[in-house]
């Protein structure tokens, strides 16, 4: 695929991610994706012969990698684990607030809407969450409960993002950061 084709594919995935984060799986219709991306309709079917589910699955994985890369970069610091998690929460809070409370977790809405009925999208969501858990688990290595703590922290972060979005306030993120600090110390 040439550069132009790759750019078109990227625009389609970016538009899908933005629409899914703002309105969920059902709020990201193909016509909206085409309009938001500026790509011709034929490009959508060329790049995503599996249709909307393929495009949403790839956009979820791509958004998950983006957040995972940021978490991985932060995990490499020598800061204590609690400080690492606080920084992740701050990063996610900044992202959410900068989007006018539209961009919470790029996976959660898809998981809630489709995981029970769509195996392909459930798998995409599961892969992203598993990768984030692995980053947390690796950062907590040496802690006697690293596996359980990784899942607990991820669940707290996801819940805090949902509440922050619902309240349009960073307060839930700040409160969860304090609880995680207590948990880890």
Q: How many helices (H) and strands (E) are present in the chain, helices listed first?
A: 9, 0
Two tokens, residue 83: 């400080």
pLDDT of residue 2: 65
Domain count, the chain: 1
Number of neighbours of residue 91 by Cβ within 10 angstroms: 15
Pair 68, 132: CB distance under 8 Å = yes
For the cut 70, the answer to whether the pLDDT of residue 36 exceeds it is yes
123 — phi, psi (to 5°)?
-65, -45
pLDDT in tens, 83-112: 999 999 999 999 999 999 998 898 999 999
Closest alpha carbon to 24 in 102, 92, 89, 122 = 102
Structure tokens at 31: 């016509």
> What value does the mean pLDDT take over residues 57-71?
96
DSSP string over 105-138: -TTHHHHHHHTTT-HHHHHHHHHHHHHHHHHHHH
Cβ–Cβ < 8 Å for 82, 180 = yes
Tens-digit pLDDT profile for residues 7-26: 999 999 999 999 999 889 99
Nearest Cα to Cα of residue 72 among 88, 57, 59: 88
Position 104 scores a pLDDT of: 87
Q: What is the CATH number of the domain that holds 150?
A: 1.10.357.10
Q: Give the orientation angle of helix 30-37 with respect to helix 3-23, to 10 degrees.
A: 120
Query: In this predicted model, what pLDDT tens digit does every residue of 136-145 receive, in sequence order?
Result: 999 999 888 9
Chain segment 135-180, per-residue pLDDT in tens = 999 999 988 899 999 999 999 999 999 999 999 999 999 999 999 9
Beta strands in the chain, from DSSP E residues, in sequence order = none
User: Hey, how many other C-beta atoms are within 10 angstroms of the C-beta on 113?
Assistant: 16
């Amino acid at each position: 695929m040439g550069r132009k084709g790759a750019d078109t594919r990227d625009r389609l995935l970016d538009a899908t991610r933005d629409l899914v984060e703002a309105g969920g799986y059902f709020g990201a219709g193909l016509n909206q994706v085409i309009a938001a991306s500026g790509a011709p309709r034929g490009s959508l079917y060329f790049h995503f012969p599996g249709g909307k589910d393929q495009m949403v699955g790839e956009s979820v994985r791509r958004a998950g990698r983006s957040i995972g890369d940021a978490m991985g970069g932060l995990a490499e610091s020598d800061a204590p684990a609690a400080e690492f998690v606080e920084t992740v929460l701050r990063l996610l809070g900044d992202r959410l607030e900068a989007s006018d409370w539209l961009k919470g977790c790029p996976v959660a809405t898809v998981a809630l809407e489709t995981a029970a009925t769509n195996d392909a999208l459930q798998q995409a969501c599961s892969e992203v969450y598993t990768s984030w858990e692995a980053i947390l688990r690796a950062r907590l290595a040496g802690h006697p409960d690293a596996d359980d703590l990784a899942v607990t922290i991820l669940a707290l972060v996801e819940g805090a993002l949902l509440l922050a979005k619902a309240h349009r306030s960073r307060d839930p993120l700040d409160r969860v950061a304090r609880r995680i600090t207590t948990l880890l110390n």
